[in-house]
Structures are given as structure tokens and as C-alpha cells.
């Protein structure tokens, strides 16, 4: 896995962030008829169904390779990855979106690369902190804030929602580090993604009654609801988790997380191309700062 060319890792990360960049819109639409827990439940169910169809689990020998202690440690990593990267991340993110604006969440989630760098420093010896990374982080966040405050987009402070968004970024950093550890010994990304999402759904189930979960399948008859749930489940979850895990296995947790800076760039470019919105000089400057920050963060020299 680690012999793959870095260009494929960069491409996978870019495609993933491009798709994730528009998920906030789908979630906002679904929050009209679904609770955050219900959105996550259907999203995971659709994703798991797709993954089971594409890559059915091989039960024979699934838990027999390696020493018992190493098998248990690996399984615990899968469980932790499912809890952090699926259950907690999406529950916290979706709840944040119900309290604050999508623009707030998008911007605040962009601190994930910093959290990932710190987590990688603590848990991964092969990813030391770099001076250029912090300089790049400062540049990218400056650009993101310029875009956020540009034009009609105005951030409004919502303490609870904003704090939840920052917490989600921290949880995602832990997930990225866990995936890096898992990919060191596992090369079947379909199986890794499937098992991670399985544990994510498993950990979600006990909490559903606390969030007044209702199956309410009749809501899926609305084309807009079904289309957005399928997009979140098949595209933004099943496909994107595979591509993100691949990028992490090739580039490392810290380098891959830098692509999170691209989220606001994708948003502004999409607005120009799809909504015919005009990009201002401030927006161009913001995009330039983000791209410069990404390049600077990728530098190897400390």
C-alpha cells in the first residue's frame, strides 16, 4: 500500500474533499424532516449495503490471522475508528448544523489539520511537526476567514454549535491517526471501510432512543430526501471513506488532512459555476491564501 505513487494519494484526497464540500447542503436540507441521528442512521445503512454488495465479508479466516493479542489490538483500533470517525464525528457535526450555520461549521472544521498534526505527533512517530505546517495553517485559515466573511456570507456566533464543530474536528483527527495505524497492516481498503462503518453503526444504535429516533420510511418517498440520503450514503460515505483511507495510507494522516483546507475553496468555486455567483477580489485573495497555505504545509523541510 505504501509503495503507491503519492500523486494517486493527492488525487484521492482532492476528490474526497470535493464531494464532502457540498455535503453540508444535503444535511441542511434533510434536517427539515430528519433529526441528526436519523440522517446518520440512514446514511450508514445505505453505505454499508453498498459496501457489502461490492465487497462481501469473508467470514472464514476473518479473525484467525496473526496472534490473538495482535488480532485483539487491531479489532480495538477498528472499533475506535468507527466510534470516532463515524458515530461521534457525524453526530457532533450534524448536531452542530442544527445549532449554527453551515458556513460556521465548514470554517471551524478546517482546524482539523492542526488537530491531526498534534495527534500524529503524539501517536505516530513517522509524522513529526514541521514549522512550515504551522505557517501554512496560518495562511490557509486567513484565506478561509476571508472567504467566510466575503460578500453576503456572514458568520454569526452560536457558541454551542461552534464548539461542537471544533470538537468534531478533534474527533476527526483521532480517526485519521487510527486509519494510518490500521493501514500499516491492512491493505484491503474496502474491508477496512466496511468494518469501520459497521462499528460506527453498531455504536450508534444504543443512542438512537435518546434522540427520539423514528424509522419513518414514508419520508423516503420524497425524492429530495431520498436523493440526498443516497448521495450521503453512497457517495459521501461509502466512496469517500475508501478514497480518504487510501489517501491517508499513502500520504499519511497529516498530509492528507491538509486537503480539508480545500473545503471552502470548493464551496466558492461551486457557487460561481453552478449558482452564477460573482467572485470578488477578496474571494480570489482568500482562495490564493488557502492554496499557498496548502503548498507550504506540504513542504518536507522542518
Look up cell 496560518; give the residue: 138
- For 19, the enclosing helix (H) or strand (E) is helix 6-20
**Percentage of residues of the chain with pLDDT beyond 90:** 25
From 46-55, 80-89, 127-136, 235-244, the region with the lowest mean pLDDT = 127-136
pLDDT of residue 302: 44
User: Whole-prediction pTM value?
Assistant: 0.77
Average model confidence (pLDDT) for the chain? Answer: 81
From 5-19, 72-86, 107-121, the region with the lowest mean pLDDT = 107-121
Strands (DSSP E) found in the chain: none
Q: Where does the pLDDT of residue 103 fall: very low under 50, low under 70, confident under 90, or very high at 90 and above? A: low
Q: How far apart are CA 233 and CA 194, in angstroms?
A: 12
Q: How far apart are CA 288 and CA 29, in angstroms?
A: 30
Q: Is the dihedral of CA 142, 132, 109, 166 positive or negative?
A: negative
Rounded to 5 degrees, φ, ψ at 127 are: -130, 75
Please give the angle made by the CA atoms of 144, 146 and 150, to the nearest 5 degrees.
Answer: 120
pLDDT higher than threshold 60 for residue 154: no
pLDDT of residue 1: 44
pLDDT higher than threshold 60 for residue 59: no
From 12-26, 86-100, 149-163, the region with the lowest mean pLDDT = 149-163
Contact of 268 with 287, CB cutoff 8 Å? yes
Look up cell 497529516; give the residue: 254
Contact of 153 with 102, CB cutoff 8 Å? no
pLDDT of residue 63: 45
Amino acid at each position: 500500500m505504501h509503495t503507491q505513487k503519492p500523486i494517486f494519494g493527492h488525487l484521492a484526497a482532492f476528490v474526497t474533499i470535493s464531494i464532502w464540500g457540498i455535503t453540508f447542503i444535503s444535511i441542511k436540507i434533510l434536517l427539515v424532516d430528519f433529526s441528526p441521528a436519523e440522517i446518520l442512521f440512514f446514511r450508514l445503512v445505505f453505505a454499508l449495503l453498498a459496501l457489502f454488495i461490492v465487497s462481501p465479508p469473508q467470514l472464514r479466516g476473518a479473525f484467525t490471522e496473526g496472534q490473538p493479542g495482535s488480532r485483539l489490538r487491531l479489532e480495538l483500533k477498528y472499533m475506535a475508528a468507527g466510534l470516532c470517525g463515524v458515530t461521534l464525528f457525524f453526530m457532533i457535526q450534524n448536531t452542530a448544523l442544527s445549532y449554527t450555520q453551515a458556513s460556521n461549521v465548514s470554517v471551524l472544521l478546517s482546524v482539523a489539520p492542526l488537530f491531526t498534526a498534534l495527534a500524529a505527533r503524539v501517536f505516530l512517530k513517522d509524522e513529526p511537526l514541521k514549522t512550515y505546517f504551522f505557517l501554512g495553517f496560518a495562511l490557509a485559515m486567513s484565506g478561509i476567514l476571508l472567504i467566510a466573511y466575503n460578500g453576503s456570507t456572514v458568520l454569526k456566533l452560536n457558541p454551542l454549535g461552534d464548539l461542537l464543530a471544533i470538537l468534531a474536528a478533534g474527533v476527526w483527527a483521532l480517526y485519521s491517526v487510527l486509519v494510518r495505524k490500521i493501514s500499516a497492516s491492512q491493505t484491503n481498503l474496502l474491508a477496512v471501510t466496511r468494518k469501520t462503518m459497521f462499528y460506527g453503526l453498531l455504536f450508534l444504535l444504543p443512542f438512537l432512543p435518546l434522540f427520539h429516533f423514528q424509522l419513518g420510511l414514508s419520508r423516503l418517498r420524497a425524492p429530495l430526501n431520498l436523493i440526498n440520503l443516497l448521495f450521503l450514503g453512497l457517495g459521501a460515505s461509502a466512496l469517500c471513506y475508501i478514497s480518504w483511507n487510501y489517501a491517508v495510507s499513502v500520504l499519511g494522516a497529516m498530509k492528507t488532512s491538509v486537503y480539508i483546507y480545500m473545503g471552502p475553496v470548493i464551496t466558492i468555486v461551486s457557487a460561481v459555476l453552478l449558482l452564477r455567483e460573482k467572485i470578488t477580489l477578496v474571494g480570489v485573495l482568500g482562495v490564493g491564501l488557502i492554496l499557498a497555505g496548502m503548498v507550504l504545509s506540504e513542504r518536507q523541510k522542518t
